[in-house]
Structure 1
């Protein structure tokens, strides 16, 4: 890969990071090319060079957000397969700990998560872009795969019926941790849900 291409990718990620910080701190409507140049400490016009329109800038930011979350989610899938062989059954507490670790990882990126929720609310008029942040996305596909593998390993009866519930719960916990209570006991909540599903 050429140094020029690496530099271009690095500059685009710096622009996206600056945009994320602006959205997290000041809201989507504060996002402008000039504001991003200032936030990223780039020469005026740099953002416009890499994202000519506001729509292109929003798309760049959404792509960076979803890429990071997808990587975090896939890492959980790798941890699950590493810690538990196909014949192993994790306990409820072990599985809850793994899922809580994913929520911890996501909410550690507070600016990213705050920007994500702000964009979900603001992008109603850009449905294709909004879908990348919610259910019809690579992130959702990765999360669904992880949830499916995790529940299958537990040996729960009719475990497939709980995939959507578990996805909704973890996403809700990310929001609650980010916006309401950063100290909520994730593992306890997840373990209670899994125990309830076990006895459903």
Structure 2
């Protein structure tokens, strides 16, 4: 979605000194031309993005431009990072990677080590103790069914081991 990509680009530019169009295009799986249009849109929104050509060139937000990064407290950022990091170990995908990048861009450099340390002090392990450890393919199927309002067919086994074919319309995915 374009808005998500624009916000992500802004966050990346706030976090990095300079990044090239091709690198951004690879990150978001779009063409460099799309990135150039996105940069124009960001400029029109009032965020001054400067472009430098040649080797080592790329896009960067002008140095005097500031966005208040103190919207979140240290505890807020630590909790958000802890939760997203734990989820990213269970669920793979660009959405979580992008969300982590956005949150990390809000961390001021002077508080970065403290926040990262606090975020890593507690680890939430969502992987199962036994059974099928690779549930990623199933999660993707369920996620797609949820997003596209599709029915899911599966085999259900009751507590006695009796198996029956079922079809259901998912409305929420709960990981336990």
If the length of structure 1 is used for normalisation, what is the TM-score? 0.27
Q: Please state which structure has a larger fraction of its residues in strand.
A: 2
Name the TM-score, length of structure 2 as normaliser.
0.29
Please state which structure has a larger fraction of its residues in helix: 1
Higher relative contact order (CA 8 A, sep 6+): 1
